[in-house]
Amino acid sequence: MIDSKKGEDALTDAWLDGGPGAVAIARNVDRLLQAVRRHLDMDVAFVSEFHGSHRIFRHVATRLDRAPIRAGDSSPLEDGYCMRVVEGSIPQLIPDTAAIPALEHIPETQLVPIGAHISVPIQLRDGRVYGTFCCFSLASNLSLSQRDLHMMRAFADLLAYQIDGDLDAVQAHEEKVARITSVLELGQPHIVYQPIYRSSTRRIVGVECLSRFELEPRRTPDVWFAEAREIGLGVRLELNAILSALDGLRQTTGDFYVALNVSPQTIISGGIDGYIDDLDPHRVVLEITEHSLVDDYKLLNERLLPLRESGVRIAVDDAGAGYASMRHVLAIQPDIIKLDLSLTRDID
């Protein structure tokens, strides 16, 4: 189970990193803030996140040329209205701050200054308060009403729904990273060797190296590798498998070959370079899976050339099952073509 606070911190980091998903989220929230700010005729609208003893202004919309806050700024919770609104010590709806003497003692009232303020908590699905959704103006705004407050609460619920979804995605990602990292640290997968028979001579001419994972959750190898690719650790996991397979080859003698499954991405990364320098390259077959899209066949063939020149044979695995089958075969020009099971089942 991933700690929810860790997940929230990871979401914070993701937003700050500004990846494609973070950009889309920021744009949606910024549009919402601008719409609400205009509707209420307020100077500034913002979403704050409570982080320890501080609040961080995650999103800010303003019509002021010199806004008192910007996205990414932070300030102590005790200096502002946000925590006091959550605690209930000041009202959520304040059309005129001058009408509430207690507000004079809050540093923000004079420093900004704040003339009108409306603020609601953003409460997540598990009951935690993420922060607040607020609007304020430098001057009082006596047109603010309970109806406006209800609208703010409705939008705060929408923000909470968005944040909950993002936290769920972050937690799922963290769980995947933890699983794959554990696999790598344990030196998995381990390898089993499936014999390859030549029917004409009835003898074993090679073995195919198959990955097996001995840890929870129990899943097929393709699921493990797909998850590793999803989080950017696909090449590392493949190299783990290849290293284990070649260690087994080093402990055997004979004239049979070893077939290793390898993705185009791993070949292009150059990660396999040097792995077979101490082996007889004629005993190695690299099976390039046809399930992966190849963006640059020229680069792939450049990476394959020195391996081929050393004596390594190239095979296309599962031909007919994935992306642009004939193009894949023609572009790589493999020594061996392995047809997908769907093409050979019940062939007799």
Per-residue pLDDT of 232-256, as tens digits, reads: 999 999 999 999 998 888 887 778 8
More confident residue, 9 or 104: 104
Asked if 132 and 92 touch (Cβ cutoff 8 Å), the reply is no
Indicate the domain borders of the chain.
4-176, 186-344
The DSSP letter of residue 89 is: S
Percentage above 70 pLDDT, the chain: 86
pLDDT tens by residue, 258-296:
999 999 999 998 888 888 888 888 889 999 876 667 888
The span from the CA of 338 to the CA of 342, in Å, is 12
Q: State pLDDT tens for residues 312-326.
A: 999 987 666 555 567
pLDDT at 232: 93
What's the pLDDT at 178?
94
- Rounded Cα gap, residues 132 and 159, in angstroms: 10
Quick check: 113 and 104 in contact, CB under 8 A? Answer: no
Q: How far is CA 191 from the centre of its chain?
A: 29
| Cβ-contact 90, 61 below 8 angstroms | no
φ and ψ at 214, to 5 degrees?
Answer: -110, 65
Confidence tier at 185 by pLDDT (50, 70, 90): very high
Within a 13 Å sphere around the CA of 156, how many CA atoms are in the beta-carbon half?
Answer: 26
CATH number of 186-344: 3.20.20.450
Q: For residue 192, is pLDDT > 80?
A: yes
- Please, what CATH class does the domain formed by 4-176 belong to? alpha beta
Kindly state the percentage of the chain with pLDDT values over 90. Answer: 56
Q: What mean pLDDT is reported for the chain?
A: 86
Question: What pLDDT score was predicted for residue 167?
Answer: 85
